[in-house]
Amino acid sequence: MTAIILTPGQTTLAQLERIYREELPVTLDRAARPGILRAAAAIAAAAAGDAPVYGVNTGFGKLASMRIAPEDTATLQRNLILSHCCGVGDPIPRPHARLLMVLKLLSLGRGASGVRWELIELIEAMLARGVTPVVPAQGSVGASGDLAPLSHMTAVLIGEGMADYRGKVMPGAQALAAAGLAPIPLGPKEGLAFINGTQFSTAFALAGLFDGWNAAQSALVVSALSTDAIMGSTAPLQPEIHALRGHPGQIESAGFMRALLAGSEIRESHVEGDQRVQDPYCIRCQPQVTGAAMDVLRQAARTLEIEANAATDNPLVLTEAGLIVSGGNFHAEPVGFAADMIALALAEIGAIAQRRVALMVDPVLSFNLPPFLTPRPGLNSGLMIAEVTTAALMSENKHIAMPCVTDSTPTSANQEDHVSMAAHGAVRLGKLIANLNVILGVEAICAAQGIDFRAPLQTSAPLHAVVARLRLDVATLGDDRYMAPDLAAAAKLIATGTLSAAAGLTLPVL
């Protein structure tokens, strides 16, 4: 498998999404090597000198005033990693762990961290040979860096901690040996360079962005299907309406919905003579809501693309100025804001989707569809409780989406007195998106069932393709049956982007 070559400072979201989804090997552009070597030489010189340099020949955090003897600088870095391996909770998924490693490579590749080239090569080799550190999900407050999770990652490089190798979890040293690799003892500042950074938070925020964007695209497709199922109007999709407001996501959403509904016999059947004046907001305002959410996701995407390419450890080696300077790039506030934005946007996509589900199962509002979309109501309950499940998940997502960056708390004896909570904000996106995929999956089931009831009238060609793909995994509902597998199958079609692909809808996040 050919490795992706990444250029520090210029890596794109498209490249990172490929790495996340395909677990591809990665190498840094070798043009980054001279800058990395210059910074490493500056750190080596500082370690041999008399002047105190934070994290090189001093303690850490509240202990920064304590000087460390030259002969103890390597022990200092090893102790730092081992003492900071305090993560708890379930191990993070393998794709997230690999993305974490790639982001750390990009940060070190900016040539401001002072690590040796051998460590860059070791991370590359671990990615290529399938050695993935076991990283617990909990323990970071998002400043000063994602200390605990990044320590668990770094521990494997020095032959400690635990790692996954070919599907088996084993001690880090054993995993390296099985892959034909050897641990590397850390030199001055190298431990600090590895754990002072936002890569854990950023990896989860990026995963949330990638999977959330997929859900947003699916929401456009499924909402168009719902519009046809309830014989909704396409008049609110007129391009002039959206141009007059000017928001790009709204304009784009309305345009794609128009294209998806074009040619529908169902729509043409009630263009004239329909006594309804307006559809409920969940149909009429879909471009305004999901379009706005897409704009918010794109704002978050721009922040995360910058952060993915950033040097975020401390101190930073400014080789051109000849300085090693303590700063605060490890503070993950930008990532925390981005994660909160993603959560709010996705919760709203789910909220309006749930209202469309409720609309379709209600015979008063669905324009003559049978109650709960069953052909024999009364004897059968149909999709009654599927709708209740979407209500439960929508409510849960509202709680999950509460902002995290506002929940700072002081740590480390008040030395680190304001933190971002970006890790918590980013990790929760996985649960929120899983809930959203179920909501959208149930909407797809309901909408397809509604379309079936409109026969012999046919929906548009793109939406017919969506229904046909859904029917490969979820059969039309006749009499009541065990529903849980249907909900799981539909959610999977949303999560994998299968239904939006069936409609021919692919929108780049940037």
Q: Considering the chain, what percentage of its residues have pLDDT values greater than 70?
A: 100
pLDDT of residue 59: 77
CB 352 within 8 A of CB 374: no
Q: pLDDT digit string (tens) for 197-251?
A: 999 999 999 999 999 999 999 999 999 999 999 999 999 999 999 999 999 999 9
Instruction: Please list, residue by residue across 257-289, b when 16 or more beta carbons sit within 10 angstroms of its beta carbon and e when fewer do.
Output: bbbbbeebebbeeeeeeeeeeebeebbbbbbbb
Mean pLDDT of 348-354: 98
Residues 236 and 223 sit within 8 Å (Cβ to Cβ)? no
Cis peptide before 253 (omega within 30 of 0): no
The CA-based angle 97-99-101, given to 5 degrees, is 75
- 170 sits in which H/E element: strand 168-171
Cβ within 8 Å of residue 277, ≥6 positions away = none
Contact partners, residue 35, CB within 8 Å, separation at least 6: 110, 111, 319
pLDDT digits (tens, 9 = 90+) for 162-189: 999 999 999 999 999 999 999 999 999 9
CA distance 198 to 355: 37
* Gap between the Cα atoms of 345 and 401, Å rounded: 9
Mean pLDDT of the region 153-157: 98
On the question of pLDDT at 412 being above 80, the answer is no
pLDDT at 66 (0 to 100): 81
Report the SS3 class of residue 136. Answer: strand
pLDDT digits (tens, 9 = 90+) for 252-293: 999 999 999 999 999 999 877 777 778 999 999 999 999 999
**3-state secondary structure at position 182:** coil
Asked if 54 is an active-site residue, the reply is yes
pLDDT exceeds cutoff 90 at 71: no
Q: Which among 54, 165, 281, 482 is annotated as catalytic?
A: 54
